[in-house]
Structure 1
Amino acid sequence: MTEIHPNQRVAVLADSQNLYHTAQSLYTQNIDYDSLLEAAVDGRKLVRALAYVVKADAPEEESFFDALTDIGFETHIKEIRTFSDGTKKADWDVGMSLDAVSLASHVDTVALCTGDGDFARLCRHLEHEGVRVEAYCFEESTSEDLIEAAHEFTDLSSDTDRFLL
C-alpha cells in the first residue's frame, strides 16, 4: 500500500495560506505551484488538484487565483471573516479534511501540501481507509505530528530552487 507506482491515482490538496505564510516568513518568496504539483503527482495519475485560498481583497490575488487555475488546480475560495473584537479568521482545515475523506475512495494517494499538525489525525484516518498520505511543506514549520503521521514527507526547504519562485 505504501509503494509508489505509475498507476496510482493522486489527489493534491494545497493549503495555500499555510504555504504562503511559511514561504514568506522563511524566504520572503512565493511557492512555485507548478513545481509543487509536478512533485506531488510524480508521474502518477492526477485525479484532482485543489488549492484552498483566502480572499483578502489584495490587488494581486485575482491573478494568483487565475495562475493556480492555469496550472491545473481547482481553487476553493473563502472570504476572511472579521469578528467583533477585530480578530480575523479564514482557515480551510475542515474543508480540506472533508474533501480528503470524500476523495479517499477515488484515489490511492492524497498529497497534503501543508505543515499544519491538525492534519495528523486525517492522515491516520486515510491510512485506515487504505490511502497513502504524502505531506509537502517546509520542515522548519511543519508539525512533527504531521511528519510522523504521513507515509512520506517532502521538505520543500531541501530544494528551494525548485519549489520557490
Structure 2
Amino acid sequence: MTEIHPNQRVAVLADSQNLYHTAQSLYTRNIDYASLLESAVDGRKLTRALAYVVKADAPEEESFFDALVDIGFETQIKEIKTFQDGSKKADWDVGMSLDAVSLAPHVDTVALCTGDGDFARLCRYLEHEGVRVEVYSFRESTADELVEAAHDFTNLSDDTDQFLL
C-alpha cells in the first residue's frame, strides 16, 4: 500500500447522488464540493476529480453541473431512467468502479466520496493493486464494510461547517 507523501497522485471520485441525499436527509444542507475536493487532495497532486451526477431535468441542475466544473471536477452525467411502473433509477456504481480501475495504474490514492457499501470490493481490489483508498462520507449512512475496506475514512459529519453549505 502506498503511504501518504507530498508527491502522491490522487484521484477523487464523488458519488454526487449519494452525498446529496445523505446531506439533505441528515442536515437539510448541500455538500461544499470545493471543501471536499481540497480535503481529499490534502496538498497532494490531483490527477483527476470526477463527479458522477444524474440529469433529472431539475431547474438548478445545469448551474450545479457548471459549478462542479468551476471547482475542478469533470462531470460524468447519466440520464435518469423511468421504468413502466414509474420507478426511477440512475446509479453510477459500475461507472465509478471502471474509472477507479482505469485510474489505478496512474495514481497512488483514490478518494471515494460515497457511503455505498457496494464499493467495498473495489477498495479491496485497489489495495491489491497497491493503491491507497480513502473514503469521504457521512458515517450515519456509510456501510460498515466500506469503512473497514478503506485505508482511511473521513466522516463528513465530524465537521459539517467545513463540508456543508
TM-score with structure 2 length normalisation? 0.99
User: Is the contact between residue 80 and residue 88 of structure 1 (CA under 8 Å) also seen in structure 2?
Assistant: yes
* CA distance in structure 1 between the partners assigned to 2:44 and 2:147 by the alignment: 22
Unaligned runs of 5+ in 1: none
Question: 2:112 is matched with which residue?
Answer: 112
* CA distance in structure 2 between the partners assigned to 1:60 and 1:41 by the alignment: 27
Superposed, 1:50-129 pairs within 5 Å as 50-129=50-129
Identity in percent: 87
Structure 1 moving runs of 4+ over 4 Å: none
Query: Per-residue CA shift, 1:57-87, capped at 9, x if unaligned?
Result: 1100000000000000000000000111111
Unaligned runs of 5+ in 2: none
Secondary structure of 2:7's match? Answer: coil
* CA distance in structure 1 between the partners assigned to 2:23 and 2:88 by the alignment: 21
User: Is the contact between residue 2 and residue 151 of structure 1 (CA under 8 Å) also seen in structure 2?
Assistant: no
Query: Per-residue CA shift, 1:111-132, capped at 9, x if unaligned?
Result: 0000000000000000000000
User: Is the contact between residue 80 and residue 89 of structure 1 (CA under 8 Å) also seen in structure 2?
Assistant: yes
- The residue identity in structure 1 corresponding to 2:76 is H
Secondary structure of 2:91's match? Answer: coil
* CA distance in structure 1 between the partners assigned to 2:108 and 2:3 by the alignment: 10
* CA distance in structure 2 between the partners assigned to 1:82 and 1:140 by the alignment: 29
- Cα RMSD (Å): 0.5
Question: 1:29 is matched with which residue?
Answer: 29
TM-score with structure 1 length normalisation? 0.99
Secondary structure of 2:136's match? Answer: strand
* CA distance in structure 2 between the partners assigned to 1:9 and 1:3 by the alignment: 11
Superposed, 1:137-152 pairs within 5 Å as 137-152=137-152
Secondary structure of 1:20's match? Answer: helix
For this pair of structures, how many residues does the alignment match? Answer: 165
